[in-house]
Structure 1
Amino acid sequence: MKLCVASTNPAKTGAVASALEKLGIQAEINQQEAQSGVSAQPFSIEETKAGAINRAHHVLGDCDAAIGLEGGVFELDGTLYLCNWGALVTSSGAVYVAGGAQVPLPAEIAVLLRAGEELGPVMDRYAQETGIRHHKGAIGILTAGKLNRVEMFSQIIVLLFGQWQANSD
């Protein structure tokens, strides 16, 4: 199978590798950057999900399937939450989607996001680290390292492949 991944971010590509290994799937992987077609900081479940779908469609090309992953935030009952979505698009036109962990963001982070900043740089300052989006992610900081971005996106990818398998002829 030839699989296109709409990212060169180590957390996202590592998640794909981890999920494929867990599932016992052999694939030739083509990694490439892709535009999400949504805001740099998606601000709703719908926008985050659309970003994942758009990314997957953008890189499908001559691959058997493509994966797009997107992180964002959404508001519920006055609290801003972290959310993550994935999409798997097949060469036959099928689209599978799955969402991941959703946790509330600290108020000081929410204020900065509502003011127009992006989560990655805000989390870097909050945790006094650099490049958090490329490894542990906001989820790693918010869960004291109990779940990192690779593990979170890996779970989403397992959900995507599981749906594809369940619906295959």
Structure 2
Amino acid sequence: MKIIIGSKNPAKITAVETVFHSYQAEFISVNVPSGVRDQPFSDEETIKGAINRAYSALKEGGGDIGIGLEGGVQKTEYGLFLCNWGALAEEGKPPIISGGARIPLPKKIADRLLSGEELGPVMDRFTDKEGVRKKEGAIGNFTNGQISRSEMFTHVVKLLVGQYEYRSK
């Protein structure tokens, strides 16, 4: 089995490899566009980005399965929440979709996103670190290390794989 991951982000690659560890699979990661804004601003846009990445990865890598993982934010009456979505693509089949953890962003971070900035660079400046999106992510920072970005996406991929296995029965 050949699994194509629609990202070069280490947190996303680790999530896919962790969940598919029991499969006899070759993993290939490719840079593919999400087809949405760099900072998705709704569940719909984030889901669309994940689906686009999954099908683009499948096509680009010529695999059996394409996986797309996308992080975004969702505005609610309780503030701006992190959201994360995943999609699993197979040729000729509808996508399998799953979503994961949500937490509110602090107002000072949310305000910067609402003014047009992207979460990754905002988090780098906020934490005075480089590449936060490839490591602990905003989720890791704002959960005091209880959940890393890779763990967050691992949960999403588990939901994808469970549905994939159910559909394959």
Would you say how many aligned residue pairs link Structure 1 and Structure 2?
Answer: 167
* Aligned positions of 1:17-166 closer than 5 A: 17-21=17-21, 24-61=22-59, 62-166=62-166
1:78 deviates by: 4.8
1:94 deviates by: 3.1
The alignment's TM-score, normalised by the length of structure 2, stands at 0.96
Residues of 2 paired with 1:125 and 1:26: CA distance? 41
Deviations 1:23-74 (A, max 9, x none): x222111110010010110000100010000011111122111000000001
Deviations 1:112-166 (A, max 9, x none): 0001000001111111211000011110001000000111101111110100111
When structure 1 is superposed on structure 2, of 119-128 and 109-118 the one drifting more is 119-128
Residues of 2 paired with 1:144 and 1:87: CA distance? 28
The alignment's TM-score, normalised by the length of structure 1, stands at 0.96
Residues of 2 paired with 1:110 and 1:18: CA distance? 31
C-alpha contact (below 8 Å) 1:63/1:91 kept by paired residues: no
> Does the residue aligned with 2:124 lie in a helix, a strand or coil?
helix
Residues of 1 paired with 2:153 and 2:11: CA distance? 8
Task: Report runs of 4+ in structure 1 exceeding 3 Å deviation.
Answer: none
Structure 2 residues not aligned, in runs of 5+: none
Residues of 2 paired with 1:8 and 1:26: CA distance? 21
| Fraction of identical pairs, as percent | 49
C-alpha contact (below 8 Å) 1:56/1:67 kept by paired residues: yes
Q: What is the root-mean-square deviation in Å for CA atoms of aligned residues?
A: 1.0
